[in-house]
Amino acid sequence: MEGIKSAFARAKRESRPALVTYTTAGYPTIASTSQTLLAMEAGGADIIELGTPFTDPIADGPTIQSANTISLQNGTTTRDCLQIVRDARKEGLRAPVLLMGYYNPLLAYGEEKMLQDAKEAGVNGFIMVDLPPEEAVRFRGHCTNYGLSYVPLIAPATSEKRMKLLCSIADSFIYVVSRMGVTGATGALSSGLPDLLEKVHKFSKGVPAAVGFGVSTREHFVEVGNVAEGVVIGSQIINTLKNAPEGEGPKAVEEYCYSITQRRNAKVSVNGHANGHANGETNGTNGHSNGETSGSNGTAVNGHAISTDANPKGDGSGWINKSNGEAPKEISAEDPTEKPASESDPSNGVVHVDAVVKEPSGPNIVDQLENLNTDEPDPELMPQRFGQFGGQYVPESLMDCLSELEKGFDSARNDPKFWEEFRSFYPYMSRPSSLHKSDRLTDYVRQNCPKGKGANIYLKREDLNHTGSHKINNAMGQVLLARRLGKTAIIAETGAGQHGVATATVCARFGMKCTIYMGAEDVRRQALNVFRIKLLGASVVAVEAGTRTLRDAVNEAMRSWVTLLSDTHYIIGSAIGPHPFPTIVRTFQSVIGQETKEQMKELTGRLPDAVVACVGGGSNAVGMFSPFADDPSVRLLGVEAGGDGVDTARHSATLTGGKPGVLHGVRTYILQNAEGQITDTHSVSAGLDYPGVGPELSGWKDSERAKFIAATDAEAFIGFKLLSELEGIIPALETAHAVFGAVELAKTMEKHENIVINLSGRGDKDVQSVAEELPVIGPKIGWDLRF
C-alpha cells in the first residue's frame, strides 16, 4: 500500500501524472511476463497492474479477452501469477504491483490464503472488477490487515451514494473507468471527464484518481494527466506485445511506454542487482530509501552509477542540466534518466493509464452498517439475496443501469395497470396454458413399478404457448418493462433459440429493434430457430469465442449492453445474471406455477404432490417452483443435463456437480475447476449447457427446499421417446430431461399422488439434433428409427 502512495507522491512532486500500466499474466507466455513488468517500469511506468486471467470476463474488450484466452491456453494459474511477481522482484522490479481481475478465481483460491501469498510474493494490492460495494468493504478490511491496498472502481454512471462509499474505502488511489475520454487526433478531452473527476475529488479527500479508457498516445496521456493524478494504459500494451517480433515483446513495451512518458526508470544492472528508481523511492519491498543503490562493485555511488540507455557510462555524462531550478509548470518530455537522482526534478515522472475506472457510488461505511440493521434496507446497498446467493458482481459501468432497471421494475410490479396491460396480451401469448393428465404415460409408469406405486402424471403445456415455449412469458413482460423505461432497442442471448424467437416475436409486435446473440455451435444446432428469428426481423450475432455456446452469448450480450445503455434493454432469458434480473425473470415466469395451482385444485381439489421441471439457467423451473415454495407438502424436483454422466467431464449438471462461485454478475452454483475458471459444458440439449444456474434455485438447494438430479443424454432421449410415442407430444430436448426425471419419481410415489411436469417447450427445433444423435444414443436405449 505504501509503495503505491509513494509512487503517486513522487509523480506529484515532479508535477506529472503517474503512469499505471496493465498486462495479462501469462501473455504471450508465462515465462516472458516478468520481463514485460520490468520493461514497463524501465519505460517510465510508476505502477503496474497484472491481470489474472478469467474465462468469462464480461468487462473486458476483445483485446484483453483475447489475451486472457491465450494465457489460459498456456496453462496460467493463480499460483503462476504470484510467481511472476516473485520472479520480477528477484530481477529488480521496484514498481508497486496490483493484481487485477475477477472475483471468482480469488474466491476459489481462498481469500485469506491469497492475501498471505500475495504479500509474500511482493504484491501491493488488488483491483477486483466485479466486487460489489457491500463485499468490497469487507475485502478491503482484510487487505488493510495485511498492509495491502484495495483499489475501488468508479464509472460515469456511479451515483453519489455509491461514489461516497467507494471513495471512503480507497486507501491508495481510485480507479475511474470512463467512456468519456479523449476525442479526435488532437487528444481533446470530452466535457464529461473533467466534471467526473471533479466529483470524484470532492469525495476522495485527497486520495489520487487514475483514469483508464483506452489512452494510447502521448497527447492523450498529457491531456488526461491535466485532470487526473494517474493515467491507465492496458489494451495498447497488449497490442504492442501481440505485434512485436517473437522474443522482442518486452523491449517493444519499454519503447512504447517511453513514447508515452518521455522518461525512463533505471534498469537492472548487468550483474542482476536492482538499482531502484532515480529518486530512490521503492515499493517498500526490497529497495533503498535514501536514493543510493549498489553499483557493479556493490558500493553506493549517489544513486547514479548504474548504466542505463541514457547513462551508458554510469557517470552521469548523459544527463542534461537545467538552466533554472524551478519545477516546470507542465509535463516535460525529458527522459528522467537524463538527470541525476540527487537533483529531484518534478518533470521526471509520468503515470500511464489504460482505462478510466469509476468508483461505484454508495453510502459510506457508517451508512452501510446502519443499513444492515434497518427493517427496510436500501436495495441499492443490499441487493436481494437468496441465502448466500445473488447480488451484483458486475463492472461499475453497469451499476447505474441495474439501479434504473430495479426501480423501474419495482414501480411496474406494484402498479395494477402494468399487470392489466400484461394480461391484455394473454390471447396473443395463448395463456392460460392448458393442464391435463397424461394417461398413457401414467399407465406406462404403473406397468414398470411395484404394485400400489405409480403417481398420476399431469402436463402443464407451456409448449402450446405462442412461439412454442415458456419463454414468451418473460419476453413479453420485459419488453413492456423496457417500453415503460423509454428504451427503444432490445438485445438478448439465446442457447436453444427459444428465447431468441420469443424476444424477436415481441419486438416485432411492438416495432422495436432487436439483436440476438447466439453461440456459433448453437447456431449450427438450432438453424431452424435462427431462421425464425431472422424471419421476425431481428438480427442474429454468432459468437465464435470460447465454447461457442450459451455462456459465450451471455458474455457478448452483456458487453454490448454496456455500450448501449442509454436506449437499449437487455432481456436476459433465464433466471441468471445480477440482481434484479433473477427476480424479474422469476416474477414473469411464475405465471406457470400460479396457473398450475389453480388448475390442479379445479381438477383434483388439492395441490399436486410434486412438480418437476428441467434446469439449465432455471427460468422454467423457478417459474413453476416459486408459487409452491411456501407449500411444504409439494415436492420440487429439478432435472439437470447429465450429458455423458456427472462422473465425467461432459455434463451441465451445475447444482449436482458444481460449487458456489461468481459468474455473469451473480454468486451461485457454477461448474468450475480448482482455479475458479469456468469449465466447458456438454448436453445434447442446446438450452441446458449453461455452466451456472439461477441464484434462487441455488438457495433452494442449500435449504433443501428443492431436490436436483441429473439425467444423461441417453435418459433424456428415453423421455423424448416416451412422450412422443405414448402421448403424441414431441417435447423439446430440455423438457425431455424433466419427463425422464418425473417418470422415475412417479415410480416411487403412491397411486393416489399427483405429479405435474412443466412441459416447457415443443421439440420441432430438436428433430434434426435427435436424428444426428440417434446413431450413437439409439443403440444404448434400444431405439432404432432406420427405415
Residues 535 and 603 reside in one and the same domain: no
pLDDT in tens, 24-49: 999 999 999 999 999 999 999 999 99
The Cα 37–Cα 112 span in angstroms is 26
The mean-pLDDT minimum among 42-51, 58-67, 369-378, 775-784 falls in 369-378
Residues 722 and 704 reside in one and the same domain: yes
pLDDT over threshold 50, residue 230: yes
Residues 617 and 716 reside in one and the same domain: yes
Quote the mean pLDDT of the chain: 84
pLDDT over threshold 70, residue 461: yes
Confidence of residue 340 (pLDDT cuts 50, 70, 90): very low
Q: How many CB atoms lie within 10 A of CB 73?
A: 11
Calculate mean pLDDT across residues 295-301. 32
pLDDT at 335: 40
738 occurs within a structural domain: yes
Residues 147 and 211 reside in one and the same domain: yes
Calculate mean pLDDT across residues 570-582. 95
Q: Which of 526, 548, 581 is the last residue of a domain?
A: 581
pLDDT at 60: 81
pLDDT in tens, 266-282: 764 333 344 444 333 33
The mean-pLDDT minimum among 341-345, 533-537, 541-545 falls in 341-345
Residues 20 and 146 reside in one and the same domain: yes
pLDDT over threshold 70, residue 319: no
The Cα 548–Cα 554 span in angstroms is 11
Calculate mean pLDDT across residues 333-351. 38
pLDDT at 686: 79
354 occurs within a structural domain: no
The secondary structure of 231-251 as a DSSP string is EEE-HHHHHHHHHSPTT-HHH
Active-site choice (49, 354, 406, 462): 49
Express as a percent the part of the chain with pLDDT over 70.
Answer: 83
Active-site choice (14, 41, 46, 60): 60
Residues 614 and 714 reside in one and the same domain: yes
The rounded Cα 785 to chain-centroid distance in angstroms is 44
| Number of domains observed in the structure of the chain | 3
Calculate mean pLDDT across residues 426-446. 98
Say which amino acid occupies 378.
D
Residues 747 and 734 reside in one and the same domain: yes
- Structural domain containing residue 50: 1-261
pLDDT at 723: 98
pLDDT over threshold 60, residue 528: yes
Residues 523 and 626 reside in one and the same domain: no
Does the predicted model carry a pTM greater than 0.85? no
C-alpha cell at 722: 416416451
* 171 is known as an active-site residue: no
C-alpha cell at 8: 503517486
* 631 is known as an active-site residue: no
CATH of the domain at 60: 3.20.20.70
Residues 447 and 409 reside in one and the same domain: no
The secondary structure of 310-325 as a DSSP string is TBTTSSSTT----SS-
Q: Work out whether strand 182-183 and strand 188-189 pair parallel, antiparallel, or are unpaired.
A: antiparallel
598 occurs within a structural domain: yes
Q: How far is CA 176 from CA 173, 209, 243, in A?
A: 10, 7, 28
Q: Which of 261, 293, 312 is the last residue of a domain?
A: 261
pLDDT over threshold 90, residue 160: no
The mean-pLDDT minimum among 114-123, 278-287, 436-445, 626-635 falls in 278-287
727 occurs within a structural domain: yes
Residues 595 and 537 reside in one and the same domain: no
The mean-pLDDT minimum among 152-166, 218-232, 240-254 falls in 152-166
Residues 523 and 654 reside in one and the same domain: no
pLDDT over threshold 50, residue 315: no
CATH of the domain at 750: 3.40.50.1100
Calculate mean pLDDT across residues 115-126. 97
The Cα 656–Cα 108 span in angstroms is 18
The Cα 625–Cα 612 span in angstroms is 8
Better-scored residue on pLDDT, 224 or 290: 224
pLDDT in tens, 82-112: 999 999 999 999 999 999 999 999 999 999 9
C-alpha cell at 637: 424436483
The Cα 444–Cα 441 span in angstroms is 5
With CA atoms as reference, report the closest residue to 729 among 505, 428, 530, 439: 439
pLDDT over threshold 60, residue 285: no
pLDDT at 189: 62
Say which amino acid occupies 311.
N
548 occurs within a structural domain: yes
Q: Which of 239, 261, 283 is the last residue of a domain?
A: 261
224 occurs within a structural domain: yes
The Cα 366–Cα 297 span in angstroms is 55
387 occurs within a structural domain: no
Confidence of residue 420 (pLDDT cuts 50, 70, 90): very high
Contact call for residues 397 and 149 (beta carbons, < 8 A): no
Residues 461 and 512 reside in one and the same domain: no
pLDDT over threshold 50, residue 574: yes
Q: Work out whether strand 456-461 and strand 754-759 pair parallel, antiparallel, or are unpaired.
A: parallel
Is omega for the bond preceding 775 within 30 degrees of 0, making it cis? no
pLDDT at 367: 34
pLDDT at 480: 98
Q: Work out whether strand 125-128 and strand 149-150 pair parallel, antiparallel, or are unpaired.
A: parallel
pLDDT over threshold 50, residue 371: no
279 occurs within a structural domain: no
The CA-CA-CA angle for residues 105, 110, 112, to 5°, reads 135
The mean-pLDDT minimum among 83-87, 156-160, 769-773 falls in 156-160
Collapsing DSSP to helix, strand or coil, 23 comes out as strand
pLDDT at 565: 83
Express as a percent the part of the chain with pLDDT over 90.
Answer: 68
Calculate mean pLDDT across residues 44-67. 91
